[in-house]
Amino acid sequence: MSDEAIAVRTAYQDPTFTYRYRPELLPEPGGRIDMWRYSRLLPGCDRDPVYPLPVGGTPLRPVPGLREATGAGDLWLKDETTGPTRSNKDRATALVIDIGMRSGATAVTTSSTGNAAIATAVGAAAAGIDAVIFVPEDCRPGKVAHMVAAGAQVFRVREGYRAAFELSRAAAARFGWIDRNTGANPLTIEAKKTVALEVWEQLGRRAPDVAVAPVGDGPTLVGLAKGFRELLACGAIAALPRMIGVQAAACAPLAHRWHGTAAPPLDPAATSADGIAVTVPSIGEWTLDEVRTAGGSFVTVTEPEIDAAVRDLRDLAQVPSEPAGAAAFAGYRSALAMGLVSPDESAVVLVTGSDLSTPPAPGTAPGAAHTISADLDVVAAVMRDRSVAARGGVTGS
């Protein structure tokens, strides 16, 4: 392991996943690209995966229409809207559930503003285990409908996202459920780093000059950065790409810290990019340090800029992105205008998810949604009458 990688792991007290970095850990050229292709750089993946859904291998699009519109001739979109639930959350869900299934787990929990919860509900249903989801009360109804249709028990928490996160973590600890919470379970970072490994292969085994990612809690950018750091440690690339983190102007705590500016009152409800509207990022310090290590920066984007990015991705690239997924492209345009990125540099923009406007038909065992205050005893009481309790997933109160 490189000295730099050791320093990062030590700083974040993350001794769990240690690799002896060398070229042999990377796959030979050729063959199908998916997440499991990088098993030698994934923990617990020395055997064939048991997770039943396909994951990874999403396209890297050259997007000539967007290149013409921006004047950037080496712009690429990493399009994560093509997976089972059309978001990059499928990767973390797959690795967490795969390893959990090997240990005999029967239930998984997470907190989310939407996409991670949908991925968890769908992944759990496919794997034959229960999903217990915690979302803020104002989570978009269409997203809640997806979770319920997949069979999840969904708890809408009145106190908001942070309370939902803490309640999910407490429930996992108390009831023995798999904890899939992004930023809390390090497997989520390991899975998300495979985006960088795929980009490296899809660009002909080279890194871009710049990588642009939306930032809410931080793991999407941290995973991307970690993947490139591990490529560097394996001797596969000569330098790290600059990381540009993008936040919605209405809720940009890390961008304001980065630039040393006073943040206005953070208002998650004031942005359509709900997937990155996080007031207290779970791994904010780590995210800032990854951007610093890579020589990058942060930008913020307004609602009109996000709306324009959604339209241009749809009309010029045929990529149906939701607002949070389009934020990175809006941020790329802002970075160009600010001189943070040159139009002749190679740049990969991560489109993290698509808008799931129509919920699927309910499965054989549809779930239910419950609106509660942040009280673990209330969760236990509700779940006693549900299938998870019948399986022994909940004990006591």
SS3 (DSSP) at 238: coil
| Residue-range definition of the domain harbouring residue 146 | 106-176+361-390
Q: Is residue 101 part of a domain?
A: no
The pLDDT assigned to 17 comes to: 75
Q: How many domains does the chain have?
A: 2
Q: What is the pTM of this model?
A: 0.90
The pLDDT assigned to 113 comes to: 82
The pLDDT assigned to 357 comes to: 60
Q: Is residue 96 part of a domain?
A: no
Looking at the fold, whether 222 and 316 belong to one and the same domain comes out as: yes
The pLDDT assigned to 44 comes to: 78
Distance of alpha carbon 371 from alpha carbon 386, whole angstroms: 16
The pLDDT assigned to 74 comes to: 98
Q: Is residue 158 part of a domain?
A: yes
The pLDDT assigned to 4 comes to: 41
Looking at the fold, whether 283 and 371 belong to one and the same domain comes out as: no
Looking at the fold, whether 325 and 256 belong to one and the same domain comes out as: yes
Q: Is residue 98 part of a domain?
A: no
Q: Is residue 93 part of a domain?
A: no
Looking at the fold, whether 200 and 260 belong to one and the same domain comes out as: yes
Distance of alpha carbon 144 from alpha carbon 368, whole angstroms: 9
Over the Cα atoms of the chain, what is R_g? Answer: 20
- CB-hemisphere CA count at 13 Å for 273? 37
The pLDDT assigned to 359 comes to: 60
Looking at the fold, whether 194 and 229 belong to one and the same domain comes out as: yes
Q: Is residue 165 part of a domain?
A: yes
User: Cα separations (Å) of 182 from 18, 41, 374?
Assistant: 19, 19, 19
User: Cα separations (Å) of 214 from 86, 211, 381?
Assistant: 16, 10, 37
CATH code where residue 132 lies = 3.40.50.1100
Looking at the fold, whether 226 and 324 belong to one and the same domain comes out as: yes
Query: Residue 78 pairs with which residues in a beta bridge?
Result: 60, 350
Asked if residue 347 lies in contact with residue 209, where contact means CB atoms within 8 angstroms, the answer is yes
Spatial CB neighbours of 10, under 8 Å, sequence gap ≥ 6:
none
Looking at the fold, whether 204 and 268 belong to one and the same domain comes out as: yes
Looking at the fold, whether 168 and 192 belong to one and the same domain comes out as: no
Distance of alpha carbon 324 from alpha carbon 50, whole angstroms: 31
The pLDDT assigned to 361 comes to: 57
The pLDDT assigned to 135 comes to: 96
Sites in the chain below the pLDDT cut of 70:
1-16, 45, 357-365, 387-397
Looking at the fold, whether 245 and 308 belong to one and the same domain comes out as: yes
Looking at the fold, whether 305 and 368 belong to one and the same domain comes out as: no
Looking at the fold, whether 298 and 194 belong to one and the same domain comes out as: yes
Q: Is residue 68 part of a domain?
A: yes
Q: Is residue 333 part of a domain?
A: yes
Looking at the fold, whether 321 and 371 belong to one and the same domain comes out as: no
